[in-house]
Structure 1
Amino acid sequence: MSLTAETLDPVAADAAFSGVVTVHTGDERTFTRAYGFAHRALQVANTPETRFGIASGGKTFTALAVLRLVDDGVLRLDDPVRGVLGDDLPLIDDAVTVEHLLAHTSGIGDYLDESADWQADDYVLTRPVHELDRTEAFLPMLDGHPQSFPPGERFSYCNGGYVVLALVAERASGQGYHDLVEQLVCAPAGLTRTGFPRLDALPGDVALGYLDADGDRCNVLHLPVRATGDGGIVTSADDLHTFWLALTAGRIVPPELVAEMTRPRHDVPDEGMRYGLGLWLHASGPQLVLEGYDAGASFRSTHDPRTGTTVSVLGNTSEGAWPVIGAVAHVVD
């Protein structure tokens, strides 16, 4: 069944959705709808070219930067991260490896525990947000969380683990995290509109992230001013499709590492999906998924490598995208 404006518009209206919905197949964008405002106070409408924060969708970019370092011989999947961390974060088990962190099986205590009673508009950061502009600045928030279970025992989604991955990548390579992602992931993929602007200095084509369905309160006090490995990248619908085509063609990491990323490792019933290595996977099919949720961001992009079809929902409110995501799922299911 195809997607039409007549079927989608009522769902978007009921959800007070603000954002963009696109379908791409091959080299063509075959469906586009834009709703709501990128800047409510100035009545600047969202357009198909608007860029959005994708929250935890950025974890896959972190994973790919790390896997590029693995491919280059700078890191190995079975490297214990203690050798890079040194005396920092002493509560992380010495047996935790790069692969454990990528697969969410490290068992390290999380600075942002999503299994707790957490709401996207809570003030969860324990450091002033303006200080959180580089990975090393996150160390005080990562410290002091006891190990939850032995490394490799089970899957447990961990935001802090991806900040640790960013730190490991920086120290192993001698380059900053943002530069690594831009050079090792965005450049070879041909992503021209993806990057890490400061939250307090967003370019005009980036949507503000709103806490609620109405009102002008945005997320600037809820998120790091320039986030790191667990989220914080902004992108556009067209760049997302470009990303998927580059990934599946082996232009970011070689095919053998793409196969590692897309090999199902864990069923995650609470999410209705499986997990690979830095990447969500459809519960039963070959579709690949990026997903993100945070203050002022709700997002999913699903790619079917069999048909080259991508369906993306990029929202700039905390909750509004989820009904829309449900309404478009059939396009790639």
Structure 2
Amino acid sequence: MIGINPIINQAAERENFSGAILVKNSADEHIRSAFGWSNRAERLENNFNTKFGIASGCKVFTAVAICQLIEEKKLQFDTQLGELLAHDLPLLDPKVTIHHLLTHTSGMPDYFDEEEIENFEDLWKTTPMYTLRQGRDFLPLFHNKPMKFKPGEKFHYNNAGYLVLGLVVELLTGKTFQAYVVENIFNHCGMDNSGYYEMDRLPENTAMGYIQDEVGWKSNIYSIPVKGGADGGAFVTAADMIRFWERLIDQKLLSEAMTNEFLIPKVQVKQGLSYGYGLWMNSEADQVHKYHVMGYDPGVSFHSSYYPAERVSLAVLSNRGSGAYEMMKVVEDLLIKLNS
């Protein structure tokens, strides 16, 4: 697979891609590349160990955390949220369950609903993003809004639902959500270069997210919450994301039974595309051929996948708002040719 790197390089130049790519199969063969600037002002290049924001791509960590607590008998998929957080969500339908939140079928209101707000950055015109450092800080943005539809009625992507799952983790463990994920997921996977970092305290070798406007390039520090949480905003390296897939598939994070449950489609989004617990799934003839996560924020684009038939994992991380999808498709086309 190393021999196809020139094709990846040509695609990266064509797409003006800034980020990192890693592909790994069961034989430990790799595509491993990095492009562009992690810090444009200091002229620091992205490298293979650069940490990138992954936006909503880390909802899968939240889902794993919840499933771990279910295995510990601390709650169930059918536990109703009103039993746990009724005082925090006074307008919540009491029939909303953990399963509904995991599958975006709860019907609860969102703090960022793409049907109501087109630009994510517009949220911070009235709410300073630097005040949002924990999940509970987001509650005033949605807790007094009415339900959008009855629980279980349909799929509607919902960030607030995952924030609430993070509050459940904190309630049941006595730890911050971020600390729980680092201890029980990142550390178990050997994801030593990943974390939930504050935008005003980014560690060494972390890519700044960049947005292009009429003047040029600016960082995204004023465009996203200052610290990530249960609905998005973690930072990972390409290698660490592959480690996550390996530990998940090898049943190192969840039991065999729970892993199998985790990998089953739960709700159909459209023909050939379903959602499970924090995961998107592409299927043909009722057979999943791709598990994937993705995330987009101003200055962030991210795609990562696991292809069960080929036992191949892919991570594409970018510190721009586009590019990851295009590079993912290039890699997938190459994988198809290699396996045809």
Q: Is the TM-score greater than 0.5?
A: yes
Aligned to 2:84: 84
Of 286, 299, 302, the residue aligned with 1:299 is: 302
Aligned to 1:53: 53
Q: Which amino acid aligns with 2:237?
A: S
Q: Which amino acid aligns with 1:153?
A: E
Q: Which amino acid aligns with 1:33?
A: S
| Greater alpha carbon shift after TM alignment, 306-315 vs 157-166 | 306-315
Q: Which amino acid aligns with 1:164?
A: V
- 1:9 aligned counterpart, secondary structure: helix
| Pairs within 5 Å for 1:227-246 | 227-246=228-247
C-alpha distance after superposition, 1:159-187 (max 9, x if no partner): 11000110111112221101111122112
CA shift, 1:330, in A, is 2.7
Pair 1:200 & 2:203 matched? no
Aligned to 1:266: 267
Pair 1:123 & 2:122 matched? yes
Question: Within 1, Cα distance between the matches of 2:335 and 2:143?
Answer: 41
Aligned to 2:311: 308
Question: Within 2, Cα distance between the matches of 1:16 and 1:206?
Answer: 20
- 2:106 aligned counterpart, secondary structure: coil
Q: Which amino acid aligns with 1:223?
A: I
Question: Within 1, Cα distance between the matches of 2:145 and 2:295?
Answer: 24
CA shift, 1:202, in A, is 0.8
- 1:76 aligned counterpart, secondary structure: coil
| Greater alpha carbon shift after TM alignment, 144-153 vs 302-311 | 302-311
Q: Which amino acid aligns with 1:292?
A: G
What 5-or-longer segments of structure 1 have no aligned partner?
Answer: none
CA shift, 1:332, in A, is 5.3
Q: Which amino acid aligns with 1:327?
A: V
Q: Which amino acid aligns with 1:119?
A: N
What 5-or-longer segments of structure 2 have no aligned partner?
Answer: none
Question: Within 1, Cα distance between the matches of 2:196 and 2:282?
Answer: 28
CA shift, 1:7, in A, is 2.4
- 2:199 aligned counterpart, secondary structure: coil
Pair 1:248 & 2:253 matched? no
C-alpha distance after superposition, 1:201-224 (max 9, x if no partner): 111211011113993311111111
| Pairs within 5 Å for 1:89-168 | 89-116=89-116, 118-119=118-119, 122-125=121-124, 126-168=126-168
Question: Within 1, Cα distance between the matches of 2:257 and 2:212?
Answer: 42
Question: Within 2, Cα distance between the matches of 1:143 and 1:3?
Answer: 53
Question: Within 2, Cα distance between the matches of 1:71 and 1:86?
Answer: 24
Q: Which amino acid aligns with 2:34?
A: A
CA shift, 1:145, in A, is 2.3
C-alpha distance after superposition, 1:89-142 (max 9, x if no partner): 21221110111000111011111113445235x332442111111121111113
Aligned to 1:42: 42
Aligned to 1:330: 333
Q: Which amino acid aligns with 2:235?
A: V
Aligned to 2:322: 319
Aligned to 1:219: 220
| Greater alpha carbon shift after TM alignment, 20-29 vs 68-77 | 20-29
From the superposition, tell whether residues 106 and 3 of structure 1 become closer, same or farther in structure 2 (CA, over 3 Å): farther
Asked whether the equivalents of residues 197 and 228 of structure 2 are also in contact (C-alpha less than 8 Å), the reply is no
Asked whether the equivalents of residues 18 and 36 of structure 2 are also in contact (C-alpha less than 8 Å), the reply is yes
Asked whether the equivalents of residues 304 and 332 of structure 1 are also in contact (C-alpha less than 8 Å), the reply is no
Over the residues paired in the alignment, what is the CA RMSD in angstroms?
Answer: 2.1
Question: Within 2, Cα distance between the matches of 1:144 and 1:82?
Answer: 15
| Greater alpha carbon shift after TM alignment, 136-145 vs 194-203 | 136-145
CA shift, 1:27, in A, is 6.4
Asked whether the equivalents of residues 248 and 305 of structure 1 are also in contact (C-alpha less than 8 Å), the reply is no
Question: Within 2, Cα distance between the matches of 1:233 and 1:27?
Answer: 29
TM-score normalised according to structure 1 size: 0.93
Question: Within 1, Cα distance between the matches of 2:302 and 2:108?
Answer: 26
| Greater alpha carbon shift after TM alignment, 24-33 vs 157-166 | 24-33
- 2:294 aligned counterpart, secondary structure: strand
Moved over 3 A (4+): 213-216
From the superposition, tell whether residues 109 and 190 of structure 1 become closer, same or farther in structure 2 (CA, over 3 Å): same
C-alpha distance after superposition, 1:16-60 (max 9, x if no partner): 211011211236351112111000111100111111111101100
Q: Which amino acid aligns with 1:303?
A: Y
Question: Within 1, Cα distance between the matches of 2:273 and 2:200?
Answer: 34
Indicate the percent of aligned positions where both proteins have the same amino acid: 34
CA shift, 1:283, in A, is 3.6
